[in-house]
Every structure is written in C-alpha cells, then in structure tokens.
C-alpha cells in the first residue's frame, strides 16, 4: 500500500470489544486484570504477548507505533514524550554496544547541539562535528574518528542543506557505525532513511506529523537490530508518550500526506515569489537548481517535493528592520515551531541560533538578515499578500 493509504489505515482496527472502532480509543489504564496469575507471569516473561504496565506498552501508543513503523518502513517504533526524548533514547540505543563517539552533522537543531554538548559530553561520550554535505569529509571523519554512531538531519535548519544519506549509510555500515537520522523536516513523504540504510529514524511528531500545533511528541523508528535495545531502554527509563497525545498524533497523521503535499506546493510558489521580490536578497530552497546539494536532492526526494521550509535574507536589513517586518505580518504567525497548518516565521538569530555570537553565526552561513518560513496549508495567495504588504511598507 502507498504511504497516503497507510497514513489513514495503519495501526487502527484492533478489536477491544464486539465491534472494531474506526479509530483506536485512548487507553488510559496503566495496569490490567488477568485471568490467572499464571498468565501474568507469562506476560512478564515475554512468553505471551499482552499489556501489563503503561511504561512498557500501551494500546494507544502501540497503534501509533504501528502506524509510524508502516510509514517509515521500519521493524518497530517507540512513541516518546517529545522529539528531544526521541533523540536521547535513539542515541543511547545506538551507542549501547558501540564506541562512545558521536559524529554529528555540524548543522543540527539547536537543542540537539545542546544535548550533545551539555549532556552527552559531560557523561563521557565524545562528540565530533562534520559537514555532512561534504561526502569526502564524512568519509575522512569516519575513517579517522571511528564513530560509534552518526547523527544527521535529512534537511538542515535553517539553510536547508541535504546530505547524501545513501552514501553516508553505506560508509557507516562499512565502518560498523550506527546511523541515526532526524527526519522531522523531510517526513516519510519525502524521505524514508531506513530504506536508504539508516538504523534509527526519529521525528519531532510535534511538527508535520501531528501538524496542528496542539501536541508535543516524538517518535523513533528502528530497524530490526536496534529495536530490542530501544524498547528495553524505554521500559527502564520511561520517556514514553501519554495516550492522549498519542491519540492526537495519530489523528494528525491521517491527514499528514495531504497537508504535506499542499505545504510543499505552497512552499514552491512562495520561494519563487520571494526570489523575484526586490526587498529579498537571497532565497534558500531545495528546488533551486543552483542549490549546492541539488544532486542529492534530485536523487533522494520525489519530483516536485522539496519540503515546506523556505529561508530568505532581507536586503539591507538588521535586527530593527527584521523586527519591523515581522511585526507588520497579520496572517503569518511569529512563532518558534514549524510544520503546523498555519504559516509561521522565525528569526534564527533571535531564536534557534541566539546563543551563538554573530561571528559564529556568520561562519555557519546564518546571517543576521535571515528569516525562516514554515509554510502552511492556507491559500498561498493570502500568504503572499501578507508578506507583500509587510515587505512593501519597509522603511
């Protein structure tokens, strides 16, 4: 079945009573009744499948996990309380029996960098960074540093760079390193990293998958090798998603393919419009034929789908002009998140990359006139009109 169909049907159709409900109910029970103590004993021993405690398993979470497993083409999944919880447990599972060196992409979500530097490093893990869009540099780093795992994002933030995941996966496999991919920006509609050789794929489900700005959640999808370590760790550490959030996430995912298609086509229109606007200095968008990673993009993404993030630089704008422009927006939401049904704008120098000095930002290519749009499902003409009026009265 195709992804659009799986998104609507996978995970549901369990039979808790005489009839099958069309959506999986929210199971709030943390514990269960058993016919006999013998049966409970067998469930504890994993000799019989069954639920016994919500930190281990929950039927609502299980339905969501089955759904995301189907969408990403994995062996199984874990629903977590946030995207960050998903990253933490995915890295822990990847490194259990591996050299404690994480080779990470040098462009990562801000909180992910903080997690690596202020949690994993102090705990004794080594962390190194590499430009994952430079295949030769990645191969060199793998050979020299012998990482236990490699962590990257399918599409980087906010400059929207795309590495050759298939090449990196092959190099990782040869070197015996686990590949962990944050697929939040691309979603399984654009990219299924497990099929390209990754071992663990994760999402901030808070973004495109749930999609409505009303639930915080994370998902880790695993290949066969890492599934047991992942679920084992989770049984003990308990970073699991609550059943209410699980239900909302699953409800969101049913329409995710439709939303994402619209968001991708809106983003293409917006990127084109921005590129021709006299107040815009430069647009960053993966459809750009001059994009530095266009070979990987053409190879990895379906035709016409480039994601729904668009970054752009305002001509001759500093903090004051940027704030003025953002304050004039009436429809586009000034917010820190992404992937919702509404279009959102973010100023990286103020938010995601706030803790870096202007010089560090400049070195990463993130200039102080850079803005990032997360394009929603609105009629794109209305978004364009809002941006146009906010740009037009600049001065």
Which residues would be at the binding site for ligand PLP (CB under 6 A)? 82-84, 109, 111-112, 153, 157, 182, 184-185, 204, 206-207, 216, 218
Supply 219's token pair.
């998902």
Residue 79 or 177: the one with the smaller Cβ distance to ligand PLP is: 79
| Position with the least CB separation from ligand PLP | 83
From the list 161, 192, 207, 262, the catalytic residue is: 207
From the list 57, 109, 247, 368, the catalytic residue is: 109
The reply to whether 55 belongs to the active site is: yes
Residue 346: Cβ-neighbour burial (10 angstroms; 0-12, 13-18, 19+): buried
Least distance between ligand PLP and beta carbon 211 (Å):
13
User: What is the rounded distance in angstroms from the CA atom of residue 243 to the CA atom of residue 62?
Assistant: 10
Least distance between ligand PLP and beta carbon 386 (Å):
23
The reply to whether 53 belongs to the active site is: no
Residue 114 or 319: the one with the smaller Cβ distance to ligand PLP is: 114
User: What is the rounded distance in angstroms from the CA atom of residue 231 to the CA atom of residue 77?
Assistant: 8
The reply to whether 182 belongs to the active site is: yes
Q: Say which DSSP state 194 is in.
A: G
Least distance between ligand PLP and beta carbon 88 (Å):
10
Least distance between ligand PLP and beta carbon 203 (Å):
8
Q: Please report how many Cα atoms fall inside a 13 Å half-sphere around the Cα of residue 96, on the Cβ side.
A: 14
Least distance between ligand PLP and beta carbon 107 (Å):
10
User: What is the rounded distance in angstroms from the CA atom of residue 198 to the CA atom of residue 191?
Assistant: 11
User: What is the rounded distance in angstroms from the CA atom of residue 370 to the CA atom of residue 284?
Assistant: 10
Residue 83 or 348: the one with the smaller Cβ distance to ligand PLP is: 83
User: What is the rounded distance in angstroms from the CA atom of residue 40 to the CA atom of residue 54?
Assistant: 15
Supply 333's token pair.
């939401």
Least distance between ligand PLP and beta carbon 316 (Å):
30
Q: Are 170 and 217 in contact (CB under 8 A)?
A: no
From the list 14, 42, 55, 328, the catalytic residue is: 55
C-beta atoms surrounding 5 within 10 Å: 11
Q: What is the dihedral of CA 158, 161, 167, 169, to 10 degrees?
A: 10
Supply 309's token pair.
């993030």
Residue 260 or 317: the one with the smaller Cβ distance to ligand PLP is: 260
First to last CA, the chain: 53
What are 357's strand-pairing partners? none
Alpha helices in 73-109 (DSSP H): 83-95
Q: Say which DSSP state 12 is in.
A: -
From the list 57, 161, 182, 293, the catalytic residue is: 182
Residue 202 or 391: the one with the smaller Cβ distance to ligand PLP is: 202
Residue 151 or 296: the one with the smaller Cβ distance to ligand PLP is: 151
The reply to whether 114 belongs to the active site is: no
- Catalytically active residues are 55, 109, 182, 207
């Amino acid at each position: 079945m195709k992804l659009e169909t799986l998104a609507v049907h996978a995970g549901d159709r369990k039979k808790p009573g005489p009839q099958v409900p069309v959506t999986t109910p929210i199971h709030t029970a943390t514990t269960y009744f058993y016919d006999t103590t013998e049966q409970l004993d067998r469930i504890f021993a994993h000799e019989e499948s069954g639920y016994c405690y919500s930190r281990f398993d929950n039927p609502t979470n299980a339905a969501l996990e089955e759904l995301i497993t189907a969408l990403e083409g994995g062996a199984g999944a874990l629903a977590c309380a946030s995207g960050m919880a998903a990253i933490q447990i995915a890295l822990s599972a990847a490194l259990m029996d591996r050299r404690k060196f994480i080779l990470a992409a040098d462009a990562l979500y801000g909180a992910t960098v903080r997690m690596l530097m202020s949690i994993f490093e102090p705990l004794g893990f080594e962390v190194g960074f590499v430009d994952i869009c430079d295949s030769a540099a990645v191969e060199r780093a793998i050979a020299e540093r012998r990482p236990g795992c490699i962590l990257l994002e399918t599409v980087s933030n906010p400059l929207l760079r795309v590495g050759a995941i298939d090449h990196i996966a092959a190099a990782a496999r040869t070197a015996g390193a686990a590949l962990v991919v944050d697929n939040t920006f691309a979603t399984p509609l654009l990219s299924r990293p497990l099929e390209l050789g990754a071992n663990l794929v994760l999402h901030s489900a808070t973004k495109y998958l749930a999609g409505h700005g009303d639930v915080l959640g994370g998902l880790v999808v695993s290949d066969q090798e890492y599934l047991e370590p992942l679920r084992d760790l989770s049984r003990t550490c308990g970073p699991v998603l609550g059943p209410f959030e699980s239900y909302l996430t699953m409800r969101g995912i049913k329409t995710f393919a439709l939303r994402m298609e619209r968001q991708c086509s809106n983003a293409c229109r917006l990127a084109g419009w921005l590129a021709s606007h006299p107040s815009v200095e430069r647009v960053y968008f993966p459809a750009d034929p001059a994009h530095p990673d266009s070979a990987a993009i053409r190879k990895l993404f379906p035709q016409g789908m480039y994601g729904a993030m668009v970054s752009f630089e305002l001509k001759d704008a500093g903090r004051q002009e940027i704030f003025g422009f953002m304050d004039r927006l009436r429809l586009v939401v000034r917010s820190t998140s992404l992937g919702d049904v509404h279009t959102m704008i973010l100023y990286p120098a103020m938010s995601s990359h706030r803790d870096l000095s202007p010089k560090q930002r400049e070195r990463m290519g993130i200039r102080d006139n850079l803005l990032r749009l997360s394009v929603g499902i609105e009629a794109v003409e209305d978004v364009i009109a809002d941006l146009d009026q906010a740009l037009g009265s600049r001065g």
